[in-house]
Structure 1
Amino acid sequence: MLHLRVVCPAERTDELLGWLTDAPGVAHLTVSRGAAVSPAGDLLGADIAREAVDDVLAGLCDRGVDRDGGITLEPLDTVLSDRADRAEEAVPGLGSDAVVWDELVGRSGDDAQLSASFLGFLTIACLLAAVGVVTNSPVTIVGAMVVGPEFGPLAALAVGLVGRRRDLAARALRALGIGFPVALVATALASLAAEAAGLVTVSPLESADQVDFIYQVGPFSLIVALLAGAAGMLAMTSSKSAALVGVFISVTTVPAAGYAVVAATLGDWTRSLSSVAQLLVNLVGIVIAAAVVLLLRTRTYRRRGLGRPLSEG
């Protein structure tokens, strides 16, 4: 279940209390008169079955609560209550299968921001991948996969496509379209500096048999990308965040980008172009699979659209 916290004008409290009392999936309704200071008003609280959250949020926003007051949600790890059990039984489906669109849009929107930390992680991941290539180290490649933050924008792009949210899709494309070029340029400069210092030659690529899977594009490249995208979206929509680590390790987006840069600076254009193809296959496969999983998990759309507009940041 999720805990709902609503700040509303005092003159709206009785109306909202009556509506929430009759709403299916709602339990433990409370009110604190005059508790809100900014904006001034009353504070309402309730525990909501996850399957009913979308309908409750839609009803509150239809009544202007998001404009006149405020709505917050937080997960509840443990709820011991017969009333809560009855509230969950009153709505169809399972909580673990319910997609809360406002939660998903907000989370994916945050993960898709073109922030300094996003650029930093992506650049470090590409540099790690480049080091893994020239040292023929699969362990370093795995480290680059884990550090890479690119799944966030890819998931946000899938959410934007399924939900027809142009603002979310645009934010994701901006993060990917600017983030990868910045990281690749930084990696290229580092590679050129390493070559000038004599640390890197063409021979490491020819003997890097432990990491040649990075640029070898085949049917399993797409299969792995599709499986990773599906697992990633399942993890995001079911709050199984631990599974995302496995998703990061299974795809070769960042390693392919790092390999392409190293190969290009050494003049090995065949491997460089193959790595670019590997990168594109992974990016497209992840987005397609994530979008399909999200479509399958979504039964109905709310009347007011899928989530509130994203805030700038």
Structure 2
Amino acid sequence: MLHLRAVCPQEKTASALGILRAHAGTAHLVVHRGAAVEPAGDLVEADIAREAADEIIDALCALDLDHTGGITLEALDTALSDAADRAEEAAPGEAADAVVWEELVARTGEESRLNVTFLAFLTIACLLAAVGVLTNSAVTIVGAMVVGPEFGPLAALAVGLVLRRWDLVRRAAAALGIGFPLAMVVTLGGALLVRATDVFGADAFRLERNHDVDFVFSVGVPSLVVAMLAGAAGMLAMTSAKSAALVGVFISVTTVPAAGYAVVAAVAGEWSRCLQSVGQLLVNLLGIVAAAAIVLIVRRNGQRSAVGTRPLSRG
């Protein structure tokens, strides 16, 4: 269940109540007359089935409440109520399969912002990847995968392309287009410092000896398959609120490690490996976005089909 709060101008409260009353997925409808101060109006609250959320929000936005008032949603961990049980049973489908599109847009939009935190995580991840390459440590490479924050902008790219939200596309492209080069430049400085001080030993830059991390730069069909599977799993996790599954997505793709490997290979003068690593990075980025977009298209079409058979009235 989700808890819905809507600030309504008084002249629109009756219409908002009508929408909520008419939908079988609504429970615990409450109205606080004149409770809203800024913007002024009434406060309407209800618990709604996740499967019903997208349709209800669309109807409330059609009243222009997102501009003249406000609409917020929050997840409910527990709802002990027969009315809530009836609402969930009346809404067709399963909560885990329901996509709340406005929630998805808001979430991916927030995670795709180019800010200091994003740049710091991406830079640290690239530095970890470079250390993993220099020390021939697959464990450190996996650590870099987990730290990397790049899936947020990649998911935002897919959402923006499918929903034609070009503001999301621009924001995500900026985060990736600025973030990766900046992180790689910082990593380049670190790699040059390591080489100058010889802190990791004389053989650290002999990459032909580091067979445990060869998977980072070995680009090919398997790389594309893994990237697409990861992109599909990641988007499924985001659209079904199964956020724990995202950790598996981070570990399965070699975006950040490929960037770190490319830098180390360039410092070592291994230009073939450097170019292969850049290719690995591009293949993974494109594969993730493509698969995520396909998942969104399939889920969007499926949800539209379900709306045609959804009972809107309580009878």
- In structure 1, the partner of 2:121 is 121
Map of 2:132 onto structure 1: 132
Cα distance, 1:190 vs structure 2? 1.1
Q: Is the Cα contact below 8 Å between 1:26 and 1:47 reproduced in 2?
A: yes
Contact 1:148 1:254 in 2 (8 A): yes
CA shift for structure 1 position 15: 2.9
Q: Which blocks of at least 5 consecutive residues in structure 1 are unaligned?
A: 303-313
Instruction: Measure how far apart 1:262 and its partner are.
Output: 0.6
Normalized per residue, the structure richer in helix is 2
Select the residue among 221, 224, 228 that pairs with 2:223.
221
- Does structure 1 conserve the Cα–Cα contact (< 8 Å) formed by 2:114 and 2:175? yes
1:19 & 1:270 partners in 2: Cα distance?
62
Runs of 4+ aligned structure 1 residues displaced above 6 Å come to none
What is the alpha-carbon distance in structure 1 between the residues aligned to residue 125 and residue 297 of structure 2? 31
Give the 5 Å matches for 1:66-81. 66-81=66-81
Which of 224, 238, 241 matches 2:240?
Answer: 238
1:202 shift after superposition: 6.5
Matching residue's letter, 1:12: K
Q: Which amino acid aligns with 1:176?
A: L
Q: Secondary structure at the match of 1:114?
A: coil
| TM-score for both structures, normalised by structure 2 | 0.92
CA distance in 1, matches of 2:67, 2:223: 47
SS in 1 for 2:74: strand
Task: Could you tell me which runs of 5 or more consecutive residues in structure 2 were left unpaired when the two chains were aligned.
Answer: 305-315
1:24 Cα deviation after fit: 3.0
The residue that corresponds to 1:209 in the other structure is 211
- In 2, Cα distance between equivalents of 1:96 and 1:198: 52
Distance 1:301 1:97, change over 3 A: closer
Q: State the Cα deviation string for residues 195-214 of structure 1 (Å, max 9, x = none).
A: 12223656531211111111
CA distance in 1, matches of 2:205, 2:59: 64
Say which of 289, 292, 308 aligns to 1:290: 292
SS at match of 1:3: strand
Q: How many residues align?
A: 302
Map of 2:152 onto structure 1: 152
Q: 1:135·1:204 contact (CA, 8 Å) conserved in 2?
A: no
Aligned residue in 2 for 1:310: none
Amino acid at match of 1:86: R
How many percent of aligned residue pairs carry the same amino acid?
67
Partner of residue 249, structure 2: 247
Summarize deviations over 1:120-154 as a string: whole Å, max 9, x none: 00000000000110011111111100000001111
Displacement of 1:301 after TM fit? Answer: 8.0
2:102 paired residue number: 102
The DSSP-based 3-state class of the residue aligned with 1:149 is coil
> 1:307 maps to which residue?
none
Name the counterpart of 2:189.
189
